Structures are given as C-alpha cells and as structure tokens.
Amino acid sequence: MTQLNSKKAVVTGGAMGIGFATSKRLVREGCDVTIWDMNEEAMADAKKDLEAIGIAKVYAYKCDVTDKKRVFELAEQAKKDMGQVDILINNAGYVRSGRFCDYPVEAWERETAVNLTSMYYTIHAFLPGMYERNLGHIVNISSAAGLVGVPDLAVYCATKWAVYGLTESLRMEAIADKKTGVKFSSIHPHFLKHGMFEGGKLNFIGNLLIPRVESHDDIARDIVEKALKKNRHVVKHPKTLHLAVINRALLPASFLPPLMTMLGIGNSMKGWVGRPGSEHASK
C-alpha cells in the first residue's frame, strides 16, 4: 500500500465538493496540497479549513483550467511552492443539462474545454516530472456517465467517456515506456445527492439497484484509499455500476436501451437543479 505522507498534490476544483473533500483527506494524510478553483470566496474558506487541520502546507490559486497559459504558470508555481508534484487530481468539472440541439455549439465547446481539454494542459504540465522520477499518480474524475449514455447529458457523457479512455491510454503508455512508478486512475461516481448533480436521480427501481452517492467524502475516500493507496485503475461508486460494463459485454446492444429505460435513465435529469455557480467545481 502506498504511503501518502509528505507527498505533494495539486487538486483542480479543490474548493468545493469532491475536490475539497479529497483535499481534506490528503492533508490529513500529511500531503502538502495546492488547490485551484474559480470561486475565490470558496477557495479562501477552503484554504482556511485545510490549514486548520495543521498537518501540512496548503496553497490556493484562482485558476480557470481552460486557460492554457494560466495552467502552465500555476504548474510552475506549484513546483516552486512544494518542490515537486507527486499527485494530480483532475477534478474540475462543469455540467449543462438539456437536449443536444437546445444549446448553441459554443455552450458544448465550453463544457468540453472544462471537462476534457483542461486535462491535456494539467497532465502535460506535470507528467514529464513524474516520468523523470518514475514516480507519481494522476487521478482523473470521470463519471457513471462515462459508462453509459444519458439523455440530456450528451456532451457530459462524451467528455467523461473520453476521460476514461485518456486515463487508460496514458496508463498503457507508462507501462510501454517502463515508467511503472507512474500510476493512473479514473473515478466513476454515480449521481451525488448534493452538489453539481443535485436533483438528478433514477426511478425507484433504478435507485434501489444503483443508489445515489450520499456525500462527497464517499468519493474522496475512494480516491485516497482505493486509487492512491491501493492503485486501483478504475474505481466505480457504487459498486453496482460494474453491471453497466457486464451488461454491455454480455447482452445484445438492442437490449440496453429498454434496460436503461426501465431504470429511469431517460428521465434522470428532469428534476436536476445542480449547484448555482457550480462551474469548475466537483460533483
């Protein structure tokens, strides 16, 4: 099991939700942590709370992760502040619910930039150093929507499927390059009861089979205990999400739409309210 004490971590979207919950767990493990977020007020509160734990150093910077220049500037700042970066948590995310043609293409380009393209920047900034040391771990937040298609979330699903593939490809590159000390994990949470996906849910049958996630810390625990410490490549929450992969492998493709309809996926975003100002925050 990997020990996290004295590791140095960067968490995007680190002021709220999964990002903040993960940062708290990392600080308690003895990691120095740099959080990036767009919400300056939330970030100031988060920094204060993290510093109150009193175990490790905490740094916080305003960052729009779609701004390539800013990402690379702050990557250098993180290396200056902490000496190096051992852990990267790509958590910043954005969701817009609605039919694909109900919004202009520019709206979907923004969602793609936050959820996917930004990871190109952060990974490109930190991966070379990890390769040089043959040591590091990159955790990318995907989603249950990175396993199945969900109505009203076409672009969100597209980005989260892509995050899943990106993570797997980078892992295989590291193995091929004999950089096995560099690890990669993708995290796939179902709807959380609070935060970005508040109000999103399956029907009664679906919720029995795949219940919503109670708290952001449930996912933070998975990130720290399963991905970082145990090097789990793919972490799904709840575990019944494995059924999505099993069904896709074993059942005819024509069987999946009626099965998902039976679980209420077709109307799962009808009650969605989300979190006001949730851009660049975690689920």
Q: Which of 94, 121, 156, 164 is catalytic?
A: 156
Mean pLDDT of the chain: 94
Please give the structure tokens belonging to residue 214.
Answer: 């109670």
Q: Does 252 map to a domain?
A: yes
Q: Does 2 map to a domain?
A: no
Q: Does 127 map to a domain?
A: yes
> What is the band of 133 on the pLDDT scale with cuts at 50, 70, 90?
very high
pLDDT at 11: 98
Of 57, 66, 10, 69, the closest CA to residue 38 belongs to 66
Residue 283 has pLDDT above 70, yes or no: no
Q: Does 43 map to a domain?
A: yes
Percent above pLDDT 90 for the chain: 87
pLDDT at 86: 98
Please give the structure tokens belonging to residue 45.
Answer: 């509160």
Mean pLDDT score, 21-49: 97
Residue with tokens 């975690």: 282
pLDDT at 276: 62
Q: Does 110 map to a domain?
A: yes
pLDDT at 282: 43
Range of the domain at 123: 8-267
Cis peptide upstream of residue 238 (ω within 30 degrees of 0): yes
Q: What angle do CA 150, 155, 160 make, to 5 degrees?
A: 80
Q: Does 228 map to a domain?
A: yes
pLDDT at 27: 98
Mean pLDDT score, 11-26: 98
Q: How many domains does the chain have?
A: 1
Q: Does 278 map to a domain?
A: no
Q: Is the pTM of this model over 0.85?
A: yes
Q: What pLDDT digit, counting tens, does each position of 47-91 carry?
A: 999 999 988 999 999 999 999 999 999 999 999 999 999 999 999
Any idea what the CATH number is for the domain that residue 120 is in?
3.40.50.720
Instruction: Identify whether 121 is a catalytic site residue.
Output: no
